[in-house]
């Protein structure tokens, strides 16, 4: 049981860029009536929002709980294992999608600026025209999106003892709570580097429907505050457009991601876990005016205690 739970921590993978708390469902079941739990606190350095080029450092809680009846809590996710078939895991999954703002937290809307042109896919409101290839600066408000509860399911398949394909499908994110995302990962868990030291690796992809990708990477027309021409041929303040979206991101691949997690068992009860994840936005998310940097790196380390 203890080895299985260490594999849980080693093989936990971030679901997109929600946060390091949103981890993959725990592997395996435990004897009836038993439980295992790790809880702790750490720090995380990550982009201030998905696609942002500034970084923030904040405290990060760690929580992993598994019960003998198959129920588990893994970071900001909770679920229930329903499969009794070795090598296959599935069941319902609940998750909390983190809030989004300019500073990556629940703050007021923030006005920011970006320099771009027609090639960025921005639809100018009526009365504003630009010559092909012209450049302009768009000042806009990055709309705050609160934390969102998501519901869905997970399905995992073991290719080998410590190699598994994980899938999670969740619905309910974005401002209008109609975002659907699917995260698929290949995880290699618990590679023994030395006594008490293990490494796990993850590679995966996150796909979102149009509502999800547009919700987090789209730009509403009423959020465009000012358009300043940098070349002749256009100018003026934005007017009300027929569409509410100045930029809408198509559904499809949102990001590709790689992760590595190093666990150091300091004692039978104490564990130091460090995680590095690289995420590269793709498709409409990468092309969004809100995306200042397509590739983001997050690093976290935490000390956890086993109860």
Closest C-alpha to 187, from 16, 25, 11: 11
pLDDT in tens, 124-178: 555 455 555 556 677 777 788 999 999 999 999 999 989 999 999 999 999 899 9
pLDDT score of 121: 60
* Residue 215 pLDDT grade (very low, low, confident, very high; cuts 50, 70, 90): very high
Rounded CA separation 83/25 (Å): 13
Average pLDDT value for residue range 210-227: 87
Whether the predicted pLDDT of 14 surpasses 70: no
- How open is the CA angle 16-17-18, to the nearest 5 degrees? 100
pLDDT in tens, 265-297: 999 999 999 999 999 999 999 999 888 899 999
**Average pLDDT taken over every residue of the chain:** 81
SS3 for 101? Answer: coil
What lies within 8 Å, CB to CB, of 86 at 6+ separation is 158
Supply the pTM of this predicted model. 0.82
Q: Under a CB-based contact definition with an 8 Å cutoff, are residues 117 and 133 in contact? A: yes
Mean pLDDT lowest among 50-54, 108-112, 282-286: 108-112
pLDDT score of 245: 84
CATH 3.30.9 correct for 2-306: no
Which residues, in sequence order, are bridge partners of residue 52?
none
Whether the predicted pLDDT of 180 surpasses 80: yes
Say how far residue 94 (Cα) sits from the centre of its chain. 15
pLDDT score of 31: 55
pLDDT score of 94: 97
pLDDT score of 25: 42
């Amino acid at each position: 049981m203890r080895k299985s739970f260490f594999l849980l921590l080693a093989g936990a993978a971030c679901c997109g860029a929600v946060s390091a708390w949103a981890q993959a469902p725990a592997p395996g079941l435990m004897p009836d009536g038993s439980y295992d739990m790790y809880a702790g606190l750490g720090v995380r350095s990550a982009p201030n929002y998905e696609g942002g080029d500034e970084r923030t450092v904040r405290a990060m809680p760690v929580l992993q709980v598994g019960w003998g009846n198959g129920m588990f809590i893994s970071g900001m996710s909770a679920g229930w294992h329903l499969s009794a078939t070795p090598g296959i895991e599935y069941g319902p999954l609940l998750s909390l999608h983190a809030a989004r703002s300019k500073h990556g937290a629940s703050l007021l809307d923030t006005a920011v600026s970006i320099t771009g042109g027609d090639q960025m896919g921005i639809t100018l409101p009526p009365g504003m025209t630009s010559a092909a290839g012209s450049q302009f600066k768009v000042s806009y408000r990055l709309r705050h999106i609160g934390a969102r509860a998501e519901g869905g399911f997970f399905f995992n398949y073991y290719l080998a003892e410590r190699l598994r394909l994980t899938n999670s499908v969740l619905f309910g994110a974005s401002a209008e709570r109609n975002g659907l995302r699917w995260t698929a990962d290949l995880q290699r868990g618990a590679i023994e580097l030395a006594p008490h030291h293990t490494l796990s690796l993850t590679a995966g992809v996150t796909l979102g429907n149009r509502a999800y990708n547009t919700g987090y990477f789209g730009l509403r027309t009423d959020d465009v505050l000012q358009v300043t021409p940098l070349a002749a041929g256009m100018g003026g303040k934005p007017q009300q457009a027929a569409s509410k979206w100045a930029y809408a991101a198509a559904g499809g691949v949102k990001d590709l991601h790689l992760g590595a997690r190093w666990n150091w068992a300091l004692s039978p009860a104490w564990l130091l876990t460090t995680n590095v994840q690289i995420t590269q936005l793709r498709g409409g998310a990468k092309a969004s005016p809100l995306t200042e940097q397509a590739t983001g790196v997050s690093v976290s380390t935490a000390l956890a205690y086993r109860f």
